[in-house]
Amino acid sequence: QVQLVESGGGLVQAGNSLRLSCATSDDTLRVYAMGWFRQAPGKEREFVAGISGSGGTTRYADFLKGRFTVSRDNAKNMVYLQMNSLKPEDTAVYFCAAGRSAVVVRAAQSYYDYWGQGTQVTVSS
């Protein structure tokens, strides 16, 4: 069982930045591809970004247009989501999740077996 804890959310004005963190006590984090998802009020949870176990492969949702960057530090058992140029439509609860292999990065939620509780991001206009 992999336990994931997100942090770094908060209230920011549009145009500003936030960095989300996902922490785990699991020393084998490198064997999991990691994903970031978000769920806005009244909407389904959607894929935001993912990264392979080594960090060598990343994948992003098309709607981001280069504003977000996913990274990881396996030595610290941490995964990050740097969010720049935030917009009100980025308001959501953001979740990190651990996938089924280290190599493949998928957008499908069914690929991810372990999920954190989420952190709220609110962007004001």
End-to-end CA distance of the chain: 39
**Strand spans (E) along the chain:** 4-7, 10-13, 18-24, 34-39, 46-51, 58-60, 68-73, 78-83, 92-99, 112-115, 119-124
pLDDT for residue 4 is more than 90: yes
pLDDT for residue 1 is more than 90: no
Indicate the pairing of strand 58-60 with strand 46-51: antiparallel
Give pLDDT, residue 12. Answer: 98
Return the closest-CA partner of residue 23 out of 7, 10, 39. Answer: 7
3-state helix, strand, coil in the chain (%, to 5): 10, 50, 40
Asked which of 5-9, 51-55, 98-102 is least confident by mean pLDDT, the reply is 98-102
Distances (CA, A) of 6 to 9, 107, 125: 8, 19, 24
Q: Which residue has the higher pLDDT, 41 or 25?
A: 41
Cβ proximity of 46 and 64 under 8 Å: no
pLDDT for residue 30 is more than 90: no
